[in-house]
Structure 1
């Protein structure tokens, strides 16, 4: 299996918060890509590389970034032998290709013909998350159907449904549909879906079909990778793996919460996510 970490965002909300902060405590975060932010003892993305490597979950890790942060990621990657960096060649948020197009770019550039785990570069999970459990679950759903894909879900609060893609599932935890940012009254489900997907190699050619269908659509329809998952659900079996929660570094308060957890609350650093 291969891993593609999506890291081509520009972190506009976080950088706006950093520049607006007058305390000076966060000045060192200015102009730093979100995946390279220090979280606990290392960069956010380094937690993923350590866990993916130590668990044997994947044999190669590909990181898609942009031209603005390309050099910083290349320097970071010198510490690892199984990480390769790819730039989407954009230099501003207005030019961004969108996460789905970045995934397609990696698949084509690196000639990926294997199962792929896709990970949001600004996302980490709570301590109960285990790549070993994900691997076992994916093997299980693949035994049912070799086209099957796997996503994660966790329970969000009623007032949070409008922030996320919400999954509705059947008794076998197979996804029936994903409702994009629904009101609490529009679905009984509270299953939020973070950016961590395991796509079957048989599903990868559908990236081309999706993007061809969306070629004239606004960037918002191609940017969030959940839009591809939502589209995929009616075409391939998609199952869920349940987790307790996630950290999504979008602004300064969410970064501070994440960093504090890893500095003070993470119980077993060595086994984290493995």
Structure 2
């Protein structure tokens, strides 16, 4: 497989928080792209590169930016001639210690042994009041994803399975990027930019399954960044095997 790390986020909320802070403690974060933010003395994106390399999960890692997320993925597939399964990773996300790339690839192998074009999404349980922040997966008893609802009200779904930006797309699903972007070419940018929109579109067209983890770190604003940094500075038990 290949890995594509999406690094196009502007970090608007985080930079707003940093700029409005008067203590001077966070001056070193001004203008730093989210994938390069230091978490436990190591850039966030470096933790992904290290884990992907150590796990042997992929034989190529590509970092893309500037275009919308789906267009970035399409660019990587076309420019590098990718004809393999792809792990798509949000450049502003890290997971807790129960997450394992090895277990993810094992799950993908099991699914694709039954149906070669199967794709995999991660999910974790969120609180009722958090459904409006995330894409929420609705699944059947086999954890096949039936649909993804984008930022629903708690009353609009019984599911509390939040879906972070970590997707494993089968090689058979990649040509559908062209079809999706062609279909959405005249749509507002919010309908074609976020990778979750492609995932929602893909679900009725390919077998897509969910894999549960305990949670994630998001560096969307300054408090969430500080929580992430403290975890990696003080609480992470085994840095060498983290996410491997």
| TM value normalised by structure 1 | 0.88
1:267 to 2:244 alignment: no
Task: Say which SS state the counterpart of residue 99 (structure 2) adopts.
Answer: coil
Task: Say which SS state the counterpart of residue 14 (structure 1) adopts.
Answer: helix
**Structure 2: gaps of 5 or more residues:** none
Once residues 252 and 222 of structure 1 are traced to their aligned partners in structure 2, the CA distance between those partners, rounded to angstroms, is 28
Match of 2:145 in 1: 175
1:102 to 2:72 alignment: yes
Once residues 228 and 217 of structure 1 are traced to their aligned partners in structure 2, the CA distance between those partners, rounded to angstroms, is 13
Match of 1:147 in 2: 117
1:185-264 correspondence to structure 2 within 5 Å: 185-264=155-234
Q: 1:163 aligns with which of 127, 133, 136?
A: 133
Q: Alpha-carbon deviations, 1:48-78, whole Å to 9, x = none? A: 0000000000011000023xxxxxxxxxxxx
1:10 to 2:10 alignment: yes
Q: Residue 223 of structure 1: CA displacement? A: 1.9
**Bigger relative contact order, structure 1 or 2 (CA pairs below 8 A, ≥6 apart):** 2
Match of 1:121 in 2: 91
Once residues 227 and 189 of structure 2 are traced to their aligned partners in structure 1, the CA distance between those partners, rounded to angstroms, is 30
Once residues 13 and 106 of structure 1 are traced to their aligned partners in structure 2, the CA distance between those partners, rounded to angstroms, is 27
Once residues 94 and 56 of structure 2 are traced to their aligned partners in structure 1, the CA distance between those partners, rounded to angstroms, is 18
CA RMSD, aligned part only? 0.7
Q: Residue 267 of structure 1: CA displacement? A: 1.0
Runs of 4+ with deviation above 4 angstroms = none
